[in-house]
């Protein structure tokens, strides 16, 4: 069976410690983590809070789970580089990958920023993934690949299936990407036609993999064996569903999609 990573957005209402427990209980091998306070959920500041950071590191060691990607790394017009450098160092301590999103509309400045962040990641001994997001300045996987190629061999792609479909790309387009540059794959599903509120869909209203109209069966054979396969599928579940039950729904759906159930 393929090892699965449970990405934090799938259960965005959980702390990192709670996510680690749920991932362990549902048979996942790794977790991706939000490491600073965000409006999405109750995240402790692992960058500056040493006690919180130690708690997470110890929980990962006890569980045997690895770290997938670490977020957020948002490159904007007014990027706080001192903060990002501390976050890169934390990523190295957690054993994860930097996952970068680009929101700076100035393409030349964004390219320079991606290269600068890639340099910090290389110095810290970690890989970096660039995530295309249609509501950002890096719209398609092609845009992300161009940035990755200019940033170094240790920089690849985070391929989110929602973002692929919503950007207008097809699975044939994905097949044209160099497989060695696909570092992290985020599986989720949804309707073929986008809803009016694209941000809501991206943050809380996706579907478990294989339960929508994205045609993920055509994507699965394209996933490189070297890539981390993650579940990033925040979906609207029954109000009384526990975090473990919600995670199990997503994990089992993913196993079915992969032909393992």
**Antiparallel, parallel or unpaired: β 4-7 and 182-187:** unpaired
| Whole-number pLDDT of residue 191 | 98
Convert the pLDDT of each residue in 9-65 to its tens digit.
Answer: 999 999 999 999 999 999 999 999 999 988 888 889 999 999 999 999 999 999 999
Mean pLDDT computed over every residue of the chain: 97
Check pLDDT > 90 for residue 239.
Answer: no
- Give the model confidence (pLDDT) of 75-129 as tens digits: 999 999 999 999 999 999 999 999 999 999 999 999 999 999 999 999 999 999 9
How confident is the model over 151-204, as pLDDT tens digits?
Answer: 999 999 999 999 999 999 999 999 999 999 999 999 999 999 999 999 999 999
At residue 238, the pLDDT reads 86
User: Which residues, at least 6 apart from 147, have a Cβ–Cβ distance to it below 8 Å?
Assistant: 102, 110, 111, 114, 130, 138, 155
Query: What are the pLDDT digits (tens) for 208-235?
Result: 999 999 999 999 999 999 999 999 999 9
Structural domains of the chain in order of their starting residue, each with its CATH number: 4-257 (3.20.20.150)
Peptide bond into 159 cis (omega under 30): no
Contact by Cβ (8 Å): 165, 214: yes
Quickly list DSSP for 165-223. HHTT--HHHHHTS-GGGEEEEEE-B--SSPPS-HHHHHHH--B-TTSSSS-GGGTGGGS
């Amino acid at each position: 069976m393929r090892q699965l990573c449970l990405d934090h957005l799938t259960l965005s209402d959980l702390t990192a410690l709670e996510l680690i427990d749920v991932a362990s209980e549902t048979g996942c091998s790794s977790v991706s983590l939000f490491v600073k306070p965000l409006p999405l959920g109750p995240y402790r500041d692992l960058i500056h809070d040493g006690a919180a950071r130690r708690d997470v590191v110890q929980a990962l060691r006890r569980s045997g789970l690895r770290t997938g990607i670490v977020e957020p790394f948002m490159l904007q017009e007014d990027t706080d580089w001192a903060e990002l450098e501390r976050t890169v160092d934390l990523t190295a301590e957690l054993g994860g990958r930097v996952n970068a999103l680009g929101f700076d509309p100035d393409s030349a400045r964004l390219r320079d920023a991606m290269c600068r962040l890639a340099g910090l990641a290389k110095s810290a001994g970690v890989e970096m993934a660039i995530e295309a997001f249609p509501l950002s300045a890096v719209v398609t996987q092609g845009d992300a690949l161009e940035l990755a190629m200019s940033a170094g061999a240790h920089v690849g792609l985070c391929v989110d299936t929602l973002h692929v479909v919503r950007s207008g790309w097809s699975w044939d387009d994905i097949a044209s990407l160099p497989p060695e540059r696909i570092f992290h794959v985020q599986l989720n599903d949804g309707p073929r036609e986008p809803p009016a509120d694209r941000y809501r869909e991206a943050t809380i209203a996706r579907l478990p993999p294989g339960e929508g109209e994205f045609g993920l069966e055509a994507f699965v054979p394209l996933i490189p064996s070297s890539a981390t396969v993650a579940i990033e599928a925040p979906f609207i579940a029954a109000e009384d569903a526990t975090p473990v039950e919600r995670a199990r729904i997503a994990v089992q759906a993913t196993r079915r999609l992969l032909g393992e159930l």
